[in-house]
């Protein structure tokens, strides 16, 4: 029905009821009494309305806390509609704050930083990643201008130029950040930050690796080319000189071959899925082979001993052979004539361990942490002299990573070194 009718019909009914009552009184007790009765009815009506108005105004002061009266006449409908409005409003508010909480939680889990600013770059809100990347504090810095908070000349230039369609790469607080400002709504802007430190590091490692590998390959190539040029320009060179040149060329060729093989091994190790296929590794056979190789490499110049007192393990035979023989051949190559080398396979409380101990040239402390980096060598010329590629320990590190094993290096210059590999207990096979 028409809402106007709905309101006015009861009002009219009530008024006519009063008029009839006044008319009845007037009919029986005379017109004065009738008028008086009508007046009293009117006054009662006005007082009732004023009372509800008073209640309504009281409720409007504290709509949250106070309960609405039930009302009378048209007021019943007004109050019930107000009550419904308030309930809807409460529900909307609860929905909104729940949604906001969910939005904030999602934002706080983002690995990328998000900061919301107004049109003149005053900070309104930022997530924890933005706090970390930009050194902000959401509660402390709210309402401050971001150019006062992020005092970086490149960032300030970016703001001044206002070319926000391009991201900016920023070095900030020891990190490489990719930063972009995105205007949204009419009067707001979002500052998005992405931490590119790790990808930058990997990219740099890749560049370094290529540069190092090219450099390592160029040196023997230069030597070989030099001798070939001599052979071409001086065909009647003395036979013994020629032989010595050939010997040097073969050495350099071998060096290149070792290098390429080690690079291929490293690439293979990196590209195969983790973890390795587990096969039974017969430690006795494996170490016996490695011992024979070490003796051949030493050519009787060292005293080499071996002790095997532990169970076999699960892993890749080929990879473990490559790792162990790298450690053993290093011991032989970095131990002067007359030195001794002890190879051991032992069961300890923490698990089974492989160790190679030598009393060779040793390594000073500042180098130890970097030894497993590719192409890292303490003494380049010595490593080359002994046919080293600088990749051996990088291969060891990769193999051990794939076998849940760790490498510890203890060493003292002039005294010698011990390289120890510890395997996690679950690698062990039951004897
Ligand atoms: N047993 C050792 N005694 C002394 N120095 C060692 C020993 N093992 C490794 N090093 C040092 O660590 C460097 C890196 O070893 P590695 O990665 O195997 O490369 P390389 O091909 O030069 O042997 C070596 O160049 C050497 O300086
Ligand atoms: Mg080596």
Which atom of ligand 1 lies nearest, measured to the CA of 383? 22
Strands 303-309 and 340-348: parallel
Give residue-wise pLDDT tens across range 278-305: 899 999 999 999 999 999 999 999 999 9
285-291 contact pairs (CB < 8 A, 24+): 286/317, 286/320, 286/321, 286/324, 287/324, 287/343, 287/345, 289/321, 290/321, 290/324, 290/325, 290/328, 290/343, 291/328, 291/343
Which atom of ligand 1 lies nearest, measured to the CA of 389? 21
Asked if residues 242 and 231 have their Cβ atoms less than 8 Å apart, the reply is yes
Can you give the pLDDT at residue 1? 64
| pLDDT exceeds 70 at position 12 | yes
Which atom of ligand 1 lies nearest, measured to the CA of 377? 25
Among 212, 255, 331, 334, the mutation site with the greatest number of ligand 1 atoms within 8 A of its Cβ is 334
Can you give the pLDDT at residue 249? 94
379 lines ligand 1 (CB under 6 A): yes
Bigger pLDDT: 196 vs 66: 196
339 lines ligand 1 (CB under 6 A): no
Atom 1 in ligand 1: residue holding the nearest Cα:
331
Can you give the pLDDT at residue 369? 92
Among 323, 335, 377, the mutation site with the greatest number of ligand 1 atoms within 8 A of its Cβ is 377
Question: From the CA of 368, how far away is ligand 1's center (Å)?
Answer: 10
- Check the CA dihedral 379-382-384-386 and report its sign: negative
Can you give the pLDDT at residue 174? 87
Gap between the Cα atoms of 129 and 122, Å rounded = 18
Give residue-wise pLDDT tens across range 211-243: 999 998 998 999 999 999 999 999 888 999 999
Can you give the pLDDT at residue 410? 96
Domains of the chain are 3-88 (no CATH), 110-195 (3.30.450.20), 199-271 (1.10.287.130), 279-427 (3.30.565.10)
Give residue-wise pLDDT tens across range 33-43: 989 988 998 89
198 lines ligand 1 (CB under 6 A): no
Gap between the Cα atoms of 295 and 293, Å rounded = 5
- Sheet strands side by side (includes 351-358): 303-309, 340-348, 351-358, 416-423, 405-412
Strands 340-348 and 351-358: antiparallel
For the entire predicted model, the pTM comes to 0.66
129 lines ligand 1 (CB under 6 A): no
Contacts of residue 418, defined as CB under 8 A and 6 or more positions apart, other chains included, come to: 355, 356, 357, 358, 409, 410, 411
Question: From the CA of 218, how far away is ligand 2's center (Å)?
Answer: 20
Which atom of ligand 1 lies nearest, measured to the CA of 379? 27
378 lines ligand 1 (CB under 6 A): yes
Q: Torsions phi, psi of 113, nearest 5?
A: -85, 140
Give residue-wise pLDDT tens across range 106-163: 988 999 999 999 988 999 999 999 999 999 998 999 999 999 999 899 999 999 998 8
Atom 25 in ligand 1: residue holding the nearest Cα:
377
Which atom of ligand 1 lies nearest, measured to the CA of 362? 4
388 lines ligand 1 (CB under 6 A): yes
Among 259, 269, 363, 376, the mutation site with the greatest number of ligand 1 atoms within 8 A of its Cβ is 363
Asked if residues 320 and 286 have their Cβ atoms less than 8 Å apart, the reply is yes
Ligand nearest the Cα of residue 364 is 1
Question: From the CA of 27, how far away is ligand 1's center (Å)?
Answer: 126
Ligand nearest the Cα of residue 371 is 1
Return left, alpha or beta for 390; rule: phi > 0 is left, psi -120 to 50 is alpha, else beta. left
Question: From the CA of 290, how far away is ligand 1's center (Å)?
Answer: 18
Question: From the CA of 256, how far away is ligand 1's center (Å)?
Answer: 18
Return left, alpha or beta for 338; rule: phi > 0 is left, psi -120 to 50 is alpha, else beta. left
297-324 average pLDDT score: 94
Residue 275: pLDDT band (50, 70, 90) is low
Question: From the CA of 302, how far away is ligand 2's center (Å)?
Answer: 17
Of the CA atoms within 13 Å of residue 288, those in its CB half-sphere come to 5
416 lines ligand 1 (CB under 6 A): no
213 lines ligand 1 (CB under 6 A): no
Three-class SS string for the chain?
CCHHHHHHHHHHHHHHHHHHHHHHHHHHHCHHHHHHHHHHHHHHHHHHHHHHHHHHHHHHHCCCCCCCCCCCCHHHHHHHHHHHHHHHHHHHHHHHHHHHHHHHHHHHHCCCEEEEEECCCEEEEECHHHHHHHCCCHHHHCCCEHHHHCCCHHHHHHHHHCCCCCCEEEEECCEEEEEEEEEECCCEEEEEEEECHHHHHHHHHHHHHHHHHHHHHHHHHHHHHHHHHHHHHCCCCCHHHHHHHHHHHHHHHHHHHHHHHHHHHHHHHHHCCCCCCCEEECHHHHHHHHHHHHHHHHCCCCEEEEEEECCCEEECHHHHHHHHHHHHHHHHHCCCCCCEEEEEEEEECCEEEEEEEECCCCCCHHHHCCCCCCCCCCCHHHHHHCCCCCCHHHHHHHHHHHCCEEEEEEEECCCEEEEEEEECHHHECCC
Question: From the CA of 334, how far away is ligand 2's center (Å)?
Answer: 9
Residue 400: closest CA among 430, 424, 418 = 424
Gap between the Cα atoms of 207 and 203, Å rounded = 6
Ligand nearest the Cα of residue 412 is 1
| pLDDT exceeds 90 at position 4 | no
Can you give the pLDDT at residue 430? 58
Gap between the Cα atoms of 11 and 17, Å rounded = 10
């Amino acid at each position: 029905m028409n809402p106007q009718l709905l309101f006015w019909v009861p009002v009219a009914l009530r008024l006519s009821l009063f008029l009839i009552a006044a008319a009845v009184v007037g009919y029986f007790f005379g017109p004065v009494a009738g008028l008086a009765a009508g007046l009293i009815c009117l006054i009662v009506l006005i007082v009732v309305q004023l009372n509800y108005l008073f209640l309504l105004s009281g409720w409007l002061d504290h709509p949250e806390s106070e309960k609405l009266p039930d009302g009378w006449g048209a007021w019943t409908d007004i109050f019930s509609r107000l009550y419904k409005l308030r309930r809807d409003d409460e529900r909307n508010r609860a929905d909104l704050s729940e949604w906001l909480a969910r939005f904030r939680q999602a934002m706080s889990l983002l690995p990328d930083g998000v900061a919301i600013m107004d049109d003149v770059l005053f900070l309104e809100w930022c997530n924890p990643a933005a706090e970390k990347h930009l050194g902000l504090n959401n509660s402390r810095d709210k309402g401050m201008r971001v150019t006062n908070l992020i005092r970086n000349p490149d960032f300030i230039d970016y703001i001044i130029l206002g070319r926000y369609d391009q991201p900016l790469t920023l070095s900030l607080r020891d990190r490489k950040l990719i930063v972009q400002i995105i205007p949204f709504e009419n009067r707001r802007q979002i500052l998005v930050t992405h931490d590119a430190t790790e990808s930058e590091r990997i990219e740099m490692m890749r560049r370094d690796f290529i540069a190092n590998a090219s450099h390592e390959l160029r040196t023997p190539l230069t030597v070989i080319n030099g001798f070939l040029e001599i052979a071409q320009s001086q065909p009647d060179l003395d036979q013994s000189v020629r032989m010595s040149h050939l010997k040097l060329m073969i050495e350099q060729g071998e060096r290149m071959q070792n290098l390429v093989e080690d690079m291929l091994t490293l690439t293979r190790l990196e590209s195969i899925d983790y973890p390795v296929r587990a096969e039974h590794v017969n430690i006795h056979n494996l170490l016996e082979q490695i011992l024979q190789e070490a003796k051949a490499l030493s050519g009787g110049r060292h005293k080499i001993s071996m002790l095997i007192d532990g169970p076999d393990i699960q892993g890749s035979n080929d990879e473990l052979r490559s790792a162990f023989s790298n450690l053993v051949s290093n011991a032989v190559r970095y131990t002067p004539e007359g030195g001794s080398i002890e190879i051991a396979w032992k069961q300890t409380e923490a698990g089974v361990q492989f160790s190679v101990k030598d009393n060779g040239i040793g390594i000073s402390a500042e180098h130890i942490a970097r030894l497993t980096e590719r192409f890292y060598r303490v003494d380049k010329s010595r490593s080359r002299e002994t046919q080293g590629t600088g990749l051996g320990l990088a291969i060891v590190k990769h193999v051990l990573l794939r076998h849940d094993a760790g490498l510890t290096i203890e060493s003292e210059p002039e005294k010698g070194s011990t390289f120890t590999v510890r395997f996690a207990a679950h690698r062990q096979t039951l004897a």
